[in-house]
A = this chain, B = another copy of it.
């Protein structure tokens, strides 16, 4: 793990790093020492580790929750090179959809392919970040919606360090199988008028989690329109389960 920059603002320290070929960013409270809960955040499709929706939430988790937060670029996103295999598949899927194919199973197949890389990458990121003195081996949470849900569900299912997860904007056809292996508390965000994920798909994914504590928060609006007050709820959810 190699740190390449460190900046600070409003009490939140931001450290850019690379772990092998993975570019990442770690946010912690200024002057933090000792073990604290860690939240891994997975960004959306076409976004990156410092996309506005990630950055705003990460800073809030650190400033108001005292958590450490880490995010990395998914392969072929942010500062990472294109992946020719992904481009080939995306082009082929586009052609299939134009020929009338159903989009959902194509997305599911693609996310499963990417998850085969991100699950081990994210586990390695946890190993490295939890070895730092100002993070340590405390409880871990996961936050991710949309692609961050599609990649997050298999990650949370595979990684026993994760004790609580906020997921959402994903559907059962992509994620139900892995969701049925998740038993930690889940807060699931569903947009009632999601133009990308059919409502029944989102409800079926919520239904699939094996967790005895799971809570569905559904709000009107499209895929990108999660209301601001859900961030307050997310912070309290993590505080309750990781604090």
Binding site for B on A (CB under 8 A): 190, 192, 203, 206-207, 212-220, 227, 229, 232-233, 236, 240
Q: List 25 A-B contacts (CB under 8 A).
A: A190-B216, A192-B207, A192-B216, A203-B203, A206-B218, A212-B220, A213-B219, A213-B220, A213-B227, A214-B219, A214-B220, A215-B217, A215-B218, A215-B219, A215-B227, A215-B229, A216-B216, A216-B217, A216-B218, A216-B219, A217-B217, A218-B218, A229-B240, A232-B236, A233-B233
Copies in the complex: 2
**Complex CA distance for A216 and B215, rounded to whole angstroms:** 10
Which residues on the B side are within 8 Å of A233 (C-beta)? 233
Which residues on the B side are within 8 Å of A215 (C-beta)? 217-219, 227, 229
- A107 CB to closest chain B CB (Å) equals 24
CB closest residue in chain B, given A215 = B219
CB closest residue in chain B, given A190 = B216
**Complex CA distance for A219 and B14, rounded to whole angstroms:** 36
Which residues on the B side are within 8 Å of A236 (C-beta)? 232
- A237 CB to closest chain B CB (Å) equals 9
**Complex CA distance for A220 and B185, rounded to whole angstroms:** 11
**Complex CA distance for A192 and B204, rounded to whole angstroms:** 12
- A115 CB to closest chain B CB (Å) equals 26
CB closest residue in chain B, given A240 = B229
- A210 CB to closest chain B CB (Å) equals 10
**Complex CA distance for A192 and B215, rounded to whole angstroms:** 9
Which residues on the B side are within 8 Å of A232 (C-beta)? 236
Known: A206-B218, A214-B219, A233-B233. 11 other contacts (CB 8 A): A190-B216, A192-B207, A203-B203, A213-B219, A214-B220, A215-B217, A215-B218, A215-B229, A216-B216, A216-B217, A216-B219
- A188 CB to closest chain B CB (Å) equals 9
Which residues on the B side are within 8 Å of A207 (C-beta)? 192
Which residues on the B side are within 8 Å of A192 (C-beta)? 207, 216
Which residues on the B side are within 8 Å of A217 (C-beta)? 215-217
